[in-house]
A and B are shown apart, each in its own frame.
Chain A
Amino acid sequence: MKKIAIFTLMFLPFVCFGELFLEITKGSEVPFKVAIIPFEGSSSLSKKLNKVIRNDLNRTGEFDLLDASLLLPLIVVEDEINYRDWNLLGMDYLVAGNIVKTNSSIDVNYEIYDIRKKKKIRSSKVFGLPNQLRQLAHYTSDGMYESIAGIKGIASTKLLYVHDVKSNNLNTRYRLMLADSDGANEQTLLSSSEPIISPSWSPDGKKVAYVSFETGLAKVYIQNIATGERNSVLSKNTQISSPSWSPDGKYLSLTLYQDGNAEIYILRLRDKTLTRMTKQFAIDTESSWSPKGNKILFTSGRSGSPQIYELDLRRLNAKAKRLSFEGTYNAKASYLPNEEGIIFVHRSVNGLFHIALKYKKENFIRILTEAKMDESPSVAPNGNMVIYGITEGDQSMLAGFSLSGASFKLPASEGEVREPAWSNFLR
């Protein structure tokens, strides 16, 4: 009798929790169809604003925007929306809004309607300043992206990159640039006659670290974006390069050349203590941190060719784990958010350099770009977009793609643009 009682007790929970279990196996891969009715306001303003918003959403690859020329700017009243007509047009969402301009501010009010649900899903107001129209447009498009796609948008984040311009007397000017995520609104953070390389963001987006050759040797500097104040992080008499900020902002991983070859060190910024992470006869460089800050990725030549390795920082004397096995050149890796995979530069069999993605679960790589000389990818904080450098003819510029399939180029400017770095979310 007792045994029976125990058995019934054991199986009781299974009976209690037997809930219906449904499996969803098919989903569409078609982008969301969205109609954005041009925002009404003073005409020059609204034209510019609408253009920036459309551009932001198109770059994500997750939106199929209805051609703006088909839509008249009209005032949308919630009760008068004919959902059936929009549905017949194949639209998933309808966005309408207006611009309110006063002397001291420009605000945008917008509403998003779900055509399937036949109701309003978002009503927002974005406050802006007259001289920051682009920023206002970026915030607006981020709001739309978040409501429709469900994850945070990155239109309002920033980019760092290096811009080299050859002047007439063949001297090159090297400039460290800061720009919006669409490449507009450029600002020069530093201009130098000696090369600048490897810009890197602090996690709070207030400082940048980079390598400058202004003293003749490669040195890492930290610069405050707002104040322009800059300091060399280590006054050692060796080459120091490829800085990368830890996610908590307390450490900087660096490559130091003091041991005869390049080795990776971690610098605690508070008291400038250095910890050596790699001990190898081969070159170890290009470190980058995992989003949780417990691992670093780096490129090492220890196997005879550059390959990507991962080091677990929580364990003492941990051995670096090799992650890339495809081909003879894999470098400049960074993690996707969530650490589920890495994005890196891969040289394919025909000698061309591509940006590739490798998921940890999978034993093959996915090549994501098709140009010839793709370099230094940087992943957007929402993990959906990657920006990288391309070379077209004799010009190098920045291009990007979203994992959802869209690709774009940032407006080209004179000279060479290279080594982009995508900031964290800045709000």
Chain B
Amino acid sequence: MTANLRYLNASFFSFCFHAIIFLYLYGTFDSNTPQTLLISKPLMVELKFELNSQAANKEIQTAAKLDEIPPLKSIDLITNPSESIKLSTSIIKESLIYSNLSDLLEQEKNVELSVQDEQIFFYSQKIIQTIEDAWMKPRNIPEGLVANLRLNIQPTGRISRVDLLKSSGNIRFDNSALQAVRRVETLYFFNEMPAGLYSKEFKRIAVSFKPL
């Protein structure tokens, strides 16, 4: 019985301990830490895509060459040359097709991904432009102020909720940021956006006001 109790105690404490760790990591105790995912990242990916495709093309060629050689050698031993040529060409073709297929599939994935990144970048720029147009930066504010907001956006582009994640400490600056978002109210280009993209990336975004 005592052993059982101890076991219960230990498991209870362990549960609490792990629950606290989990909650801590989940961010329950600190709601003011937005994840920083810079916009410049999609740009980088886009550049990589071009390099990748070239590299992929090269790989296809080398792979095809490698495939080419061994079957030819093996067929050389056979006395009938015309057949061997036919065989080898068919093998080469097949191998080329296969390698092309798998590579193409991968490429297609890459293209899809990069198209999405491009779109994310495009719409992000549009959002930034719209908010910058509406933002009246207050004068005579201390240097180095940063205010972070979180926007909840509906599929129509209407900003349904704004939260101040991190205050800059300056009332006028915080207010100007909130007012800029209020002035925007609806991001009209959201109705051109692919539905998948919206639910994946633009349902909830964080915006940081950070004058240069």
> Hey, which bits of chain A sit against chain B, CB under 8 A?
9-10, 12-14, 17-32, 62, 114, 116-117, 149-151, 337-338, 340-341, 357, 359, 361-362, 366, 368, 382-384, 403-405
List of A residues within 8 angstroms of B124 by Cβ: 20, 22
List chain B positions with a Cβ less than 8 A from chain A.
22, 25-27, 34-39, 120, 124, 127-128, 131-140, 142-144, 150, 169-172, 175-180, 182-183, 185-186, 201-202, 204-212
Closest residue on chain B to residue A114 by CB atoms: B183
Task: Say whether A23 contacts B39, CB under 8 Å.
Answer: yes
Cross-interface CB contact of A403 among B26, B35, B131, B139, cutoff 8 Å = B139
Extra contacts, 13 of them, besides A22-B208, A338-B171 (Cβ < 8 A), are A14-B35, A18-B37, A21-B206, A22-B131, A25-B132, A26-B132, A26-B135, A27-B135, A28-B137, A117-B183, A151-B171, A341-B142, A405-B139
Looking at the assembled complex, report how far the CB atom of A7 sits from the nearest CB atom of chain B, in whole angstroms.
Answer: 11
Q: Which residue of the partner chain, among A12, A13, A368, contacts B140 with CB atoms under 8 Å?
A: A368
Report which of A31, A117, A340 forms a contact with B185, defined as CB distance below 8 A: A117
Closest residue of chain A to B207, judged by CB?
A: A22
A24 touches B182 (CB 8 A): no
Partner of A18, one of B35, B120, B171: B35
Task: Write 26 A-B pairs (CB below 8 A) sorted by A numbering.
Answer: A12-B25, A14-B35, A17-B27, A19-B34, A19-B205, A20-B124, A20-B206, A21-B39, A22-B124, A22-B128, A22-B205, A23-B210, A24-B131, A27-B135, A27-B136, A28-B136, A28-B137, A31-B136, A117-B183, A149-B175, A150-B175, A150-B178, A151-B175, A359-B142, A382-B171, A404-B140
Cross-chain contact of B210 among A25, A62, A362 (Cβ < 8 A): A25
What's the least CB distance linking B125 to chain A, in Å?
A: 9
Q: For residue A337, which residues in chain B have a CB less than 8 angstroms away from its CB?
A: 171
Q: How far is the CA of A14 from the CA of B33 in the complex (A)?
A: 11
The 5 closest A-B pairs by CB, nearest first: A27-B137, A150-B179, A27-B135, A359-B142, A403-B140
Q: Is the CB of A17 within 8 A of B35?
A: yes
With both chains docked as a complex, state the minimum distance between the C-beta of B46 and any C-beta of chain A, in angstroms: 16
Most buried by B among A23, A28, A362: A23
Q: Is the CB of B175 within 8 A of A24?
A: no
